[in-house]
A and B are shown apart, each in its own frame.
Chain A
Amino acid sequence: MATTLQALTTPAANVGARLRLLRKDRHLTQTELARQIGIQQSDLSRMEKGEYRVSLDSLFKILAVFEVSFNDFFDEKQVADEPKRALSREDMQILHLVRELSDEGRREAMEFLEFKVRREQQDRRAIASRRESRETGS
């Protein structure tokens, strides 16, 4: 009993519970999913309870089966937007530089900036989410 209670609060149990939900969403039985991942049904059942650890190979198979995205596989933590700030001298300098560019150059710069912003947001969210998990001990 102690093992089961402990398992419910571990990261492995959280991942297992999420996996179970995804499997049910896709109307897959444990036997079907276990076959696709290449593990035994009894092991998948234990994995959903947080009692079975998978190899990296099996983990990648799971991610491939569910064509997983960050949002799908794990509960994404919403990070509050950063407060709006007045434009700094450096911000103004960037704007002036962008104005010097051709339309094509502006489009490319915009794409690059959007990519960088998205990437940094993801990284910040990832680190914040993990810090929170560690602090709450889950």
Chain B
Amino acid sequence: MIPRFDELMQAAEAAFTKDDFEGSAALYAEAVEVARECGDPDRADRAFCNHCSVLVELDRGADQIPKLKEILLRSSNTRNRFHAAYCTAVAYDISGEGDKAQGYADRAASLAGELGDPVSESRSLNLVGNLSIRSSKFPEAESAFVRSLEAHRDLNGHHRMTEAQVRDNLGYVMMCTDRLQEGISLCEEARSDFERIGADHYLYETLQDLCYGHLLADNLDRAQECGERALDLAVEFEDDQVAKNCLFLLSETAVRRGDTFRARRYLRELTAYYPEVGISEEIIDVFLATDLTSVVNLRG
């Protein structure tokens, strides 16, 4: 029975990496059943946690939170408890319950520390940092990202993509806390890593952050260049959030140049994303009249 379990787990993981989430979820569910039939609760918990991480991708993770919490309380297997805490955090985050997500992400980071596994540690600390940014807790976010990068140091250059993401996140935090040059340098490093790897699907958020940093530093040409490229990629990858942020940043860049005609054009495109508000000249005036760069959270 154990070889069957291993086969199912490998097939589920392979399906997941090919973005076949439904197929992967079905295979993990079968693996849970096989482990239960064998009377092996550790394997059943492991397969169940993996099953939940796939359900989270399918936006069906919230239903599993009670069972995940049960594993966290009951299991003596630290790795399974880590997975349960991490999945619970992500599921709460997607449900919009930021405070609860934060608590479980902290728990996951602490369990990852007990495991002594740098991959799990850096991943959970990156989650802690991202949740902290979203609630504008920048010192907490900074501490988590710094620790996540320290964990990456033990990986000797493996997982470069996630390391670049963490570096970009830390760069954004620094920009939000008046350390522009340090923030821009970190984001530039992340940008060159993503370009070298060819990861355009991560690159555009870094370009958005660079647009923000250069805008605050009054490097308006660089801000414009990064913002336009980020906008093109965000549209290509259908990421509305980054596209909206870029339109906002580009309008701000145009305002600082005194080009209100161009600023209005970007702002009309931005307001078109909000049909409930409509393309309102009054709202465009609010954006033109007020510097909202320290009010808006690009990761909100």
A74 touches B286 (CB 8 A): yes
Instruction: Report A41-58 CB contacts with B as 1/0, cut-off 8 Å.
Output: 011001000011111111
Contacts of A28 in B (CB 8 A): none
User: Per a CB cutoff under 8 Å, which of B136, B255, B277, B300 touches A51?
Assistant: B136
Task: Give residues 236-250 of B contacting A (CB, 8 Å).
Answer: 241, 244-245, 248
A69 within 8 A of B: yes
Asked whether A63 and B283 contact (CB < 8 A) given A54-B300, A123-B260, the answer is yes
Query: Would you call A11 and B295 a contact (CB within 8 A)?
Result: yes
Asked if A134 lies at the interface with its beta carbon under 8 angstroms from chain B, I say: yes
Q: Which residue of A lies closest to B96 (CB)?
A: A38
Which B-chain residue is minimally distant from A60 (CB atoms)? B274
Contact (Cβ within 8 A) A59 B296: yes
Is there an interface contact between B258 and A55, defined as CB atoms closer than 8 Å?
A: no
Q: Quote the shortest CB–CB distance from A116 to chain B (angstroms).
A: 12
Residue total for A at the interface (Cβ-Cβ under 8 A): 36
Q: Pick the contact of B286 from A40, A55, A73, A123 — CB < 8 Å?
A: A73
Given known pairs A60-B277, A126-B260, A130-B255, the reply for A11 and B294 (CB within 8 Å) is yes
Question: Whole-angstrom distance from the CB of A130 to the nearest CB of chain B?
Answer: 6
Interface presence of B135 (CB below 8 A): yes
> In the complex, which residues 128-148 of chain B have their Cβ closer than 8 Å to any Cβ of chain A?
135-136
Interface pairs (6), CB distance under 8 Å: A53-B300, A56-B300, A76-B289, A123-B260, A126-B288, A127-B258
Residues of B within 8 A of A (CB): 96, 98-99, 135-136, 176, 241, 244-245, 248, 255, 258, 260, 270-271, 274, 276-277, 282-283, 285-286, 288-297, 300
Binding site for B on A (CB under 8 A): 10-12, 15, 38, 40, 42-43, 46, 51-60, 63-64, 68-70, 73-74, 76, 122-123, 125-127, 129-130, 133-134
Query: Contacts A60-B274, A126-B260 given; 17 further ones with Cβ under 8 A?
Result: A11-B292, A38-B96, A40-B98, A43-B135, A52-B136, A53-B300, A54-B296, A56-B244, A59-B295, A60-B271, A64-B276, A69-B282, A70-B282, A74-B290, A122-B285, A125-B289, A127-B260
